Amino acid sequence: MKLYIDGKKQGTELACAGGTYGRLNSGTLTIGRNFNSSQIWYKGFMDDVRIYKTALSISEIKQNYIAGLDSLFENGAISKEEYNKRLLNLAKND
């Protein structure tokens, strides 16, 4: 499984119980907790979590991230300066 935060791929691949592909046959999908039930839940906030049937290309991930930034800016949730800063940061990581 690959993890992207703010449109940037994180350095390591993640593993999940049962592998990283196939069907979820054993019940409910849980996000924010280790598959070992003795582990504590993630302490913090997550937003805009998405799960896709197929892997997205890096280009598709960036397009989704930019669309999200556009929405945040248009709704006044981030300033023009923050918007530009995030776009510049994304471009630097190409």
In the structure encoding, which two tokens stand for residue 71, read together?
């929405």
Mean pLDDT of the residues in the chain: 77
Long-range contacts formed by 90-94: CB under 8 A, 24+ apart: 90/6, 90/7, 90/8, 90/62, 90/65, 90/66, 93/8
pLDDT number for residue 79: 96
Is the pLDDT at 18 greater than 70? The verdict is: no
Q: What is the pTM of this model?
A: 0.59
Tell which residue, 6, 17, 2, 1, has the closest CA to residue 92: 6
Q: Span 59-77, mean pLDDT?
A: 93
Reported as a pLDDT band with limits 50, 70 and 90, residue 67 is: very high
Residue 70: band (very low, low, confident or very high) from pLDDT cuts 50, 70, 90: very high
The residues spanned by each domain of the chain are 4-92
